[in-house]
Amino acid sequence: MTEMTLQGPPGRARGMDGPLLDIRGLRVDFPDIEGTPAIDGMDLTVGRGEIVALVGESGSGKSLTALTVMGLLPPGAEVVGGDVMLEDEDLLSVSPKRRNEIRGNKVAMLFQQPKVMLDPTARVGGQVTESLRQHRKVGRREAKTRAEQLLRDVGIPEPKRRASSFAYQLSGGMAQRVMIAAALSADPELVIADEPTTALDVTVQAQILQLLKQKRDDLGLTILLITHDLGIVSTMADRVAVMYAGRIVEDGATRDIFDDPQHPYTQALLRASLLEAERGQLYSIPGSITQARLLDQGCRFLPRCPVSVALGIQQLCGSAEPRLSTCGNHEHHSRCYASRDYAEAG
C-alpha cells in the first residue's frame, strides 16, 4: 500500500491550487468474500472545475469508489487503507457529524435510476431543498421559492406546478433534472455522477449531459463521471481514468486515451465499445473480470491480455505488478510493461 501511495500520479501540490479530490492508495475490502480487495491501491486526483471520467467494466470498482467518497459503503465493505482527501480533510477519518455536513454541502451524488432515488411519497419540491434546509437553516417559505428557482435552473418547465408533483408523475429525464437540482441546491463543489444517463433516451441523454456541462462552466463545478459508455466520456470528460479490478490502469487527457491508449485493457475496452465487426464477429474482451480477484501477484489483466502473449512476456507480467508510469506526456500514465517509455520512466 505504501508503494502505491508513493507511486501515485505526480499530483499537483495540495492547497487551493491542488486537486479538489485526491484519492491515494485506497483499499476497500469485503472481508467475507474471498479474493483480493474490491478496491486495491486506487489513486485518483480530480482538479477543481475538471470533469474526470472513471471508466471500466461492471465489477471493476467504479461505483464502490464513489460510495466510499460519499461515506455510503454498502454492508460488508470495509476501508482497509489509503486516504480520500477533499481539499485538506481526510474523508475517511472525519466524524459522522462532519461527514453529514460535507455530504450534500460539499459533495453530492447523482445516481443511475433517478426515479428510484426520489422518495415516492413526498412532493419533489421538498426533496429538492432538503439538503438546503439541512445545511443552511433556510425557512420553509424561502425554501419553496428556492425550489422553484432550482427547478427552473435545470430547465424544468412550469417549475411552480412541478414542485408539487410526485416522482411517479415525472418522466425519467425530468426526474434526473430534479435530482440534479437537488444535488446542486447547497452549492456543492464536487458532484459524483454514477451512470447519470444510462436509463435515459439518447435525446434526453444529450440534454442532461449538456446541462451538467453547463453547470460546470457556470458554477465551476467539479464532476467525477462514472460510466461504461465511452461515447459519453468522449464528449464530456477532460480527463479519463480507466479502472480494472480495483485500481487505475491508465489515466490521461481524454484525447490521449482515445487516440493513443497504452494499456491493453483500455485498448480492449475501446475496441469492444466500437461495435465494429471483423469477419462478422464483434470484438469482446476474452475471459472475465472475476479472474482478476484470484491473482495476488503480477498484473491483474494478465489472464485476459493479448499483448503479453504476443510479446512473450507473460513471465514478467505474472511476477510483479507494473507501476503506473508516465507515457507520452506527463499527464498520461499506464500500468503496463508494454506501455511506451515504461523502461525509462521512473
Partner 1 sequence: MTTVVTEDVHGWATSSPLVELHDVVKHFPAGSGKTVHSVDGVDLAVRQGEVLGLVGESGCGKSTLARTILRAVAASSGHIIFDGRNITSAKGRELKALRRSMQFVFQDPYGAFDPKMSLGTSLEAPLRHHGMKDRSERRERMLAMLDRVGLEEAILERRPSECSGGQLQRMVIARALLLKPRFLICDEPTSALDASIRAQILNLLVELKEQLDLTLVLISHDLRVVRYLCDRVAVMYLGKIVEVAPRDELFTNPRHPYTRVLLAATLSEESTADDMVLRLKGEPPSPIDIPSGCRFHPRCPMAQDVCSVKIPLVSEAGPDHTVNCHFWDEVPPPPASAHLLPTSAPAPA
Angle formed by the axes of helices 202-219 and 172-184, nearest 10°: 10
Minimum distance of partner 1 from residue 195's CB (angstroms):
10
Tell me whether residue 138 or residue 272 sits nearer to partner 1 (CB atom): 272
Is 280 one of the binding residues for partner 1 (CB under 8 A)?
Answer: yes
Q: What is the DSSP string of 236-264?
A: H-SEEEEEETTEEEEEEEHHHHHHS--SH
Q: Which of 93, 145, 164, 288 binds partner 1 (CB under 8 A)?
A: 288
- Report whether 154 contacts 218 (CB < 8 A): no
Tell me whether residue 283 or residue 342 sits nearer to partner 1 (CB atom): 283
Tell me whether residue 13 or residue 202 sits nearer to partner 1 (CB atom): 202
Minimum distance of partner 1 from residue 171's CB (angstroms):
6
C-alpha distance from residue 305 to each of 244, 250, 268, 310 (Å): 12, 15, 9, 9
| Region binding partner 1 by CB under 8 A among candidate stretches 36-44, 92-100, 201-209, 336-344 | 201-209
| Region binding partner 1 by CB under 8 A among candidate stretches 76-84, 283-291, 315-323, 338-346 | 283-291
Residue owning grid cell 489513486: 43
Rounded (to 5) percent helix, strand, coil in the chain: 40, 20, 40
The β-bridge relationship of strands 39-46 and 51-55 is: unpaired
Q: What's the rounded Cα separation, in Å, for the pair 85 and 105?
A: 16
Binding string, 41-80, against partner 1, x = CB under 8 A? Answer: ----------------xx----------------------
Q: What's the rounded Cα separation, in Å, for the pair 196 and 253?
A: 22
Is 241 one of the binding residues for partner 1 (CB under 8 A)?
Answer: no
Q: Which of residues 244-273 bind partner 1 (CB under 8 A)?
A: 258, 268-270, 272-273
Amino acid, res. 61: G
Minimum distance of partner 1 from residue 93's CB (angstroms):
34
Q: Which of residues 86-125 bind partner 1 (CB under 8 A)?
A: none
Is 173 one of the binding residues for partner 1 (CB under 8 A)?
Answer: yes
Q: Which of 284, 296, 312, 344 binds partner 1 (CB under 8 A)?
A: 284
Q: What's the rounded Cα separation, in Å, for the pair 130 and 183?
A: 10
Q: How many helices (H) and strands (E) does the chain have?
A: 15, 14
Is 277 one of the binding residues for partner 1 (CB under 8 A)?
Answer: yes
Which residues in this chain contact partner 1 in the complex, by CB under 8 A?
57-58, 157, 171-174, 198, 200-207, 209-210, 213, 228-232, 234-236, 258, 268-270, 272-285, 288, 290
